[in-house]
Amino acid sequence: MRLRTTLAVGSLLLLLTGCGAADMTKQASPFANARGAKTVTLSVQSWVGAQSNVAVAQYLLEHKLGYRVDTVQVDEVPAWDALSQGRVDALLEDWGHPDQEKRYVTDKKTITRAGDLGVTGHIGWYVPTYLVKQHPDITNWKNLNKYASLFRTPESGGKGQLMDGSPSYVTNDKALVKNLKLDYQVVFAGSEAAQITQMKQFAKEKKPFLTYWYSPQWLFKKVPMTEVKLPPYKEGCDADPAKITCSYPHTPLQKFLNADFVKSGGKAAAFLKNFKWTTEDQNEVSLMIADQKLSPQDAARKWVDSHPEVWKKWLS
Amino acid sequence: MATLTVPNATATARPRVLRSRAAGKLLLLALLTAVLLPFLGRWGNGAWPHALTVDLTKPLTTASDWIIDNRDSHPLFLYFFGYVSDAVVLSVRAVYLTLLAAGWPGVTVFAALVAWRVAGVRLAAGTAVAFLACGVLGMWVPTMQTLALMVVAVLVSVVVGALLGLAGGLSERLDRALRPVLDTMQVLPAFAYLLPVVLVFGIGVPAAVLATVVYAAPPMARLTALGLRGADPEVLEAVESLGATRRQRLLTARIPLARKELLLGLNQTIMMALSMAVIASVIGAGGLGDRVYQALASVDVGAALAAGIPIVLLAVVLDRVTAAAGSGAEAADQRPRAIGWLYALAATVAVALAARLLTALDWPSGATVNIAEPVNRAVDWMTSHLYSGVPVIGGTADWAGHFTTWVLDPVRDGLQWLPWWSVLLVVAALAWLIGTWRTALTAVLAMAAIGVLGVWEPSLDTLSQVLAAVAVTLVLGFATGVAAARSDRVERVLRPVLDVFQTMPQFVYLIPVVALFGVGRAPAVAAAVVYALPAVVRITAQGLRQVDPAALESARSLGATGRQQLWQVQLPLARRSLLLAVNQGVVLVLAVVIIGGLVGGGALGYNAVFGLAQGDLATGLVAGAAIVCLGLMLDRVTQPTERRTRKGA
């Protein structure tokens, strides 16, 4: 890490002499490594699962390995860019971005794969389970048009509302609604936070709703939901996003590290490569953060104290 | 920020002449339409015709790919942008390390001493309390990060702005070229600036600082030019007659005479930089804004508030101290200032060293108060009791629902139903009636550009939100403004509230509205109303108060009641101020409605957020350009013929 500071100072000297190149793709955050501490910068994505990964990694890096950890909130796609430039060192939960992977990992080699996170992600359309009890056939997409009037809201006009979340998430919903000829309007909540607030309010009043959602997600414990079956996913059926008619795949979530960080990051890089846990572990931390409103640090400490057998392996 | 120049309402309206002129303009427009309609009608009478759009997706995607692929190899990046970026990172880092080295005692003492030298004991105490509060809330390090970024951004903005202003102040031709550009830059929503810099610099601090500079430099430039041009000609002549050279005249007479404007420019630049530094957290600025953004992402209103309060405190302190420096500029200068500054610096170093010896540089981790939890409990209580099902009046969510169904939907559908050419016609008519044919032309071209970009429908959606929010703002703002103008007591109570609301960065408003109104367009509108209200109230009250007392007196002697005085004397005479209030309201509302994309506002704001979040520059840049055009159009449509210094926000 000190190398980067030297690089930065060096480029200033070059600037003064008026020659040489300044490569801004090799630049750390100005807030990193303050006062000589070894710093790792982790990118956080907006969903709580990603916060849990980062919270536990941060806790262990700080308390077991003696690093200083900075976190930066970046959405997934910009996080790839930031990772490539070394402004963040790690992306701990990626839901599959083949374009970016080809560009940065295969072509430019500025990002290195760091293995599975151990959690499998799945995106889908969900309805609350209390609604399924009333209308058991609602869980098939072919019957959705029949129930469109149930899902009408002020924002969706005359159609049923399919609620989507943050603009940063992977979604084909607009194309799906169009290609499957559904009488629905995709309404974007603008952020996951807004979407969760809305779902909780609906659930409290036992109102029907149809939403884009994903697992693992802690909210299933609070609001039980059932997935609506879309036409099944087959390899390559999502090749053309405009013509898509199939559901979302099951994605083993991946970790990625900055290529220079892998070389110079020492123990921290090795630790982040070894970091691997299960859906249940992640959910446990997520529930503490999102539902019991523990701060991420406290939640991470609780989990670390009670699961030494899991994380001990990561440190070796 | 707190200073607004309101035009004197001396221009007496001449209704008959005005009416006939207005009628003439309308007639001409109608004629023009009648002639052009057969041609325009060819493209249909619905939304903007597809044949007239230009699809920029492909070139923009190619451009963004090219930039990403060549960022580490092309000479333009290596030898220019790279250095810019490096310089920003190095200077922010230097300031940040200095702040950390001074530790919390050093920074607090230094800030308090500066406030004391500039603005007196009371503000010094206030400053110290504000900084300590940042520490108590557990936000010391993020506050220092924001401060470091701000210091660099403000310094650069001031230098750039002062140079531009100097050029404009000295050269007539440059002034004429610069002024429309600067005027326009000031009405643009902050969000529109983010995408272009991200394209070049990527996510991170350099992009954030540069976006801030672009946003915050214009007021400095405008006010510098204004100050230089406004210098008393007699004084200048006197100096000239003493045989001073051009350069001496500038340094000894014009710049000192413009001191008040320069300090006002500094004040506005600081406030705008703070506002932007917070919004720039969306592109990785870090610091306090990032904390608000993260908390907003998990609906943690308490945590968002804990980061929001330091922002507000910082804003209020910076505003007061620089404003005091501006108003005290003429009075002071008796004390030997340099020595005082020396003492201040020495005291800071002494405190910092003492703290270092006692190893108390970091804020003591035990001395923080966690306000997140009680606040969240209060919010939970509020949402469960106010959100819905309140007897008779309904809950806030019900209001939001009704507002969406009964106001926002009809306005949006109405706008989107209008034939595209008639929208242009309405824009032209409004702009021409209030302004000149130039402003009307700009407005129409801006609106047409939106159509050409292919974002006609989302732009009208955004426009409908703006119109609804402006209507609510004006009703509330005029009512409050009238009350404040008629009663000193009301004004005394309102003033501090308005001051605080006016200095808060736009981002902070998003937190409470989500808790109260849920997700959708209604909360975006609510945030916009709250943000724009103070300016409207203040301008209205000032305008009404400046109405010629003689006119009021004569009306009273004729036996007019209070109500008659208001409707028939004060309001007509204050017409120009009211128009200015409308203009301000529209510009401020637009800025927040766009940010409302983060809470479900949809339309252009959503596209801009989407572009940033997905790195999809085609969507984001087009939305940004449309926002610019919409801002331009709205400003021109509501622009009174003469321009005045505006609230920098």
Cβ neighbour number for residue A241 with a 10 Å cutoff: 11
| Contact check, Cβ <8 Å, A198/B92 | no
| Contact check, Cβ <8 Å, A166/B82 | no
> Residue B81 is nearest to which of A24, A72, A198, comparing CB atoms?
A24
Task: Judge contact between B254 and B237, C-beta under 8 A.
Answer: no
Structure tokens at B184: 């326009």
Task: Judge contact between B508 and B311, C-beta under 8 A.
Answer: yes
| CB contact burial B145-174 (16+ within 10 A = b; e otherwise) | bbbbbbbbbbebbbebbbebbbbbbeeeee
Task: Judge contact between A125 and A229, C-beta under 8 A.
Answer: no
**Residue by residue, what is the 3-state secondary structure of B223-250?**
HHHHHHHCCCHHHHHHHHHCCCCHHHHH
Query: How far away is chain B from the Cα of A286, in angstroms, using its nearest Cα?
Result: 11
A221 and A231 in a single domain? The answer is yes
| Contact check, Cβ <8 Å, B290/A72 | yes
Q: Which residues of chain B make contact with A157, given a CB cutoff of 8 A?
A: 409
Query: How far away is chain A from the Cα of B149, in angstroms, using its nearest Cα?
Result: 10
**pLDDT surpassing 90 at residue B182:** no
Q: Taken in order B135, B138, B140, B142, is the CA torsion positive or negative?
A: negative
A281 and A231 in a single domain? The answer is no
Q: Indicate the pLDDT class of residue B502, thresholds 50, 70 and 90.
A: confident
Q: Using a CB cutoff of 8 Å and minimum separation of 24, what contacts does B341-346 make? A: B341/B117, B343/B113, B344/B110, B344/B113, B344/B114, B344/B116, B344/B117, B345/B110
| Contact check, Cβ <8 Å, B201/A197 | no
Q: Taken in order B117, B120, B121, B126, is the CA torsion positive or negative?
A: negative
For B273-309, give the DSSP string.
HHHHHHHGGGGT--HHHHHHHHHHHTT-HHHHHHHHH
DSSP A190: S
Question: Higher pLDDT residue, A58 or B185?
Answer: A58
DSSP A104: I
A126 and A240 in a single domain? The answer is yes
Instruction: Judge if the upstream peptide bond of residue B142 is cis by omega within 30 degrees of 0.
Output: no
Task: Judge contact between B527 and B596, C-beta under 8 A.
Answer: yes
Q: How far apart are the first and last CA of chain A?
A: 21
> Residue A72 is nearest to which of B286, B373, B401, comparing CB atoms?
B286
| Rounded-to-10 torsion of CA B191, B195, B197, B202 | 120
User: How many angstroms separate the CA atoms of B349 and B339, rounded?
Assistant: 15
Q: Which residues of chain A make contact with B514, given a CB cutoff of 8 A?
A: 193-194, 197
Q: Indicate the pLDDT class of residue A256, thresholds 50, 70 and 90.
A: very high
| Contact check, Cβ <8 Å, B299/A198 | no
Report CA-CA distances (Å) from A149 to A184, A209, B231: 9, 11, 69
Structure tokens at B563: 């109500």
Q: Indicate the pLDDT class of residue A156, thresholds 50, 70 and 90.
A: confident
The letter for the amino acid at B506 is: Q
Least confident of A248-257, B314-323, B637-646: B637-646
User: How many angstroms separate the CA atoms of B77 and B201, rounded?
Assistant: 9
- pLDDT per position as a tens digit, B97-130: 888 888 888 888 888 888 888 878 888 898 999 9
User: How many angstroms separate the CA atoms of B155 and B212, rounded?
Assistant: 11
pTM over 0.80: no
Interface test with A, best of B89, B301, B507 (most A CBs within 10 A): B89
Residue A126 β-bridge partners:
A211, A227
Q: Determine the average pLDDT of the residues in B593-614.
A: 82
| Contact check, Cβ <8 Å, B86/A74 | no
Residue B3's pLDDT is: 42
User: How many angstroms separate the CA atoms of B510 and B317, rounded?
Assistant: 22
Structure tokens at A51: 């916060």
Domain boundary among A204, A223, A250: A250
For B129-152, give the DSSP string.
HHHHHHHHTT-HHHHHHHHHHHHH
| Contact check, Cβ <8 Å, A157/B148 | no
For the structural domain made of B146-283, what CATH number should be given? 1.10.3720.10
The letter for the amino acid at A66 is: G
**What percentage of chain A exceeds 90 in pLDDT?**
15
B contact residues 460-499, partner A, Cβ 8 Å cutoff: none
Report CA-CA distances (Å) from B488 to B5, B482, B496, B537: 20, 11, 14, 14
**pLDDT surpassing 60 at residue B387:** yes
Q: Which residues of chain A make contact with B299, given a CB cutoff of 8 A?
A: 193-194, 196-197
What average pLDDT does chain A have?
Answer: 82
**pLDDT surpassing 70 at residue A166:** yes
Q: Determine the average pLDDT of the residues in B396-421.
A: 81
Q: In terms of DSSP H, where are the helices of B77-204?
A: 82-119, 121-136, 140-170, 172-187, 194-201
Q: Which residues form the domain of A209?
A: 121-250
Domain boundary among A250, A281, A303: A250
> Residue B299 is nearest to which of A24, A29, A196, comparing CB atoms?
A196
- pLDDT per position as a tens digit, B532-550: 898 889 888 888 888 777 8
A246 and A296 in a single domain? The answer is no
A189 and A239 in a single domain? The answer is yes
Residue B62's pLDDT is: 83
- pLDDT per position as a tens digit, B234-288: 777 787 787 777 777 777 777 777 788 888 888 888 888 888 877 888 887 778 8
| CB contact burial B272-284 (16+ within 10 A = b; e otherwise) | bbbbbbbbbbbbb
Task: Judge contact between B182 and B220, C-beta under 8 A.
Answer: no
B contact residues 560-599, partner A, Cβ 8 Å cutoff: 597-599
Closest residue in A to B303 (Cα–Cα): A295
Query: How far away is chain A from the Cα of B160, in angstroms, using its nearest Cα?
Result: 20
Q: Indicate the pLDDT class of residue A255, thresholds 50, 70 and 90.
A: very high
Look-up: residue for tokens 């390390």? B97
Q: What are phi and psi of A128, to 5 degrees?
A: -65, 145
B contact residues 86-125, partner A, Cβ 8 Å cutoff: 86-90, 92-93, 96-97, 100
> Residue B93 is nearest to which of A30, A81, A192, comparing CB atoms?
A30
Residue B366's pLDDT is: 67
User: How many angstroms separate the CA atoms of B420 and B36, rounded?
Assistant: 13
Structure tokens at A157: 């006009």
A293 and A246 in a single domain? The answer is no
3-state secondary structure of A85: helix
Residue A300's pLDDT is: 92
**What percentage of chain B exceeds 70 in pLDDT?**
88
| Rounded-to-10 torsion of CA B603, B607, B608, B613 | 140
- pLDDT per position as a tens digit, B503-536: 677 777 776 777 777 777 888 899 899 888 988 8
Class of domain B391-637: mainly alpha
| Contact check, Cβ <8 Å, B87/A25 | no
A62 and A10 in a single domain? The answer is no
**What percentage of chain B exceeds 90 in pLDDT?**
4
Q: Does B369 touch chain A (CB under 8 A)?
A: no
Q: How many CB pairs under 8 A join A and B?
A: 191
Task: Judge contact between A15 and A249, C-beta under 8 A.
Answer: no
Residue B553's pLDDT is: 81
Least confident of A161-165, A178-182, A268-272, B40-44: B40-44
Task: Judge contact between B505 and B304, C-beta under 8 A.
Answer: no
Rg (CA), chain B: 26
Q: Which residues of chain A make contact with B97, given a CB cutoff of 8 A?
A: 34-35
| Contact check, Cβ <8 Å, B284/A205 | no
For helices B194-201 and B57-70, angle between their N-to-C axes, nearest 10 degrees: 40
Look-up: residue for tokens 């050279």? B245
The CA-CA-CA angle for residues B216, B221, B226, to 5°, reads 135
Q: Determine the average pLDDT of the residues in B426-446.
A: 84
Task: Judge contact between B141 and B204, C-beta under 8 A.
Answer: no
Residue A43 β-bridge partners:
A72
3-state secondary structure of B122: helix
By C-alpha distance, which of B607, B612, B585, B587 is closest to B596?
B607
| Contact check, Cβ <8 Å, A72/B284 | yes
User: How many angstroms separate the CA atoms of B106 and B547, rounded?
Assistant: 49
**pLDDT surpassing 70 at residue B640:** no
| CB contact burial B207-234 (16+ within 10 A = b; e otherwise) | bbbbbbbbbbbbbbbbbbbbbbbebeee
Q: Determine the average pLDDT of the residues in A241-267.
A: 87
| Rounded-to-10 torsion of CA B521, B526, B528, B532 | 160
Residue A1's pLDDT is: 44
| Contact check, Cβ <8 Å, A15/B606 | no
Q: Determine the average pLDDT of the residues in B153-177.
A: 87
Give the domain CATH number at A38: 3.40.190.10
Residue A15's pLDDT is: 45
User: How many angstroms separate the CA atoms of B378 and B382, rounded?
Assistant: 6
Closest residue in B to A168 (Cα–Cα): B613
3-state secondary structure of B171: coil
Q: Indicate the pLDDT class of residue A13, thresholds 50, 70 and 90.
A: very low
Give the domain CATH number at A205: 3.40.190.100
Q: Which of A29-38, A220-229, B571-580, B630-639 has the highest mean pLDDT?
A: A220-229
Look-up: residue for tokens 């704001």? B605
**pLDDT surpassing 70 at residue B401:** yes
Task: Judge contact between A61 and A20, C-beta under 8 A.
Answer: no
The bridge status of strand A111-128 relative to strand A250-258 is antiparallel
Q: Where are the domains of chain B?
A: 146-283, 391-637
ipTM, two decimals: 0.73
Query: How far away is chain A from the Cα of B89, in angstroms, using its nearest Cα?
Result: 5
The CA-CA-CA angle for residues B60, B63, B64, to 5°, reads 90
> Residue B85 is nearest to which of A24, A70, A168, comparing CB atoms?
A24
Closest residue in A to B292 (Cα–Cα): A73
Cβ neighbour number for residue B240 with a 10 Å cutoff: 15
| Contact check, Cβ <8 Å, A31/B514 | no
Residue B153's pLDDT is: 92
Query: How far away is chain A from the Cα of B587, in angstroms, using its nearest Cα?
Result: 23
Q: Indicate the pLDDT class of residue A2, thresholds 50, 70 and 90.
A: very low
A182 and A273 in a single domain? The answer is no
Q: Looking at the 3D structure of chain A, how many domains does it have?
A: 3
User: How many angstroms separate the CA atoms of B437 and B578, rounded?
Assistant: 21
Q: Indicate the pLDDT class of residue B158, thresholds 50, 70 and 90.
A: very high
A195 and A257 in a single domain? The answer is no
Structure tokens at B641: 């013929």
A16 and A35 in a single domain? The answer is no
**pLDDT surpassing 70 at residue A127:** yes
- pLDDT per position as a tens digit, B128-151: 999 998 888 888 888 888 899 989
Q: Which residues of chain B make contact with A189, given a CB cutoff of 8 A?
A: 519, 600
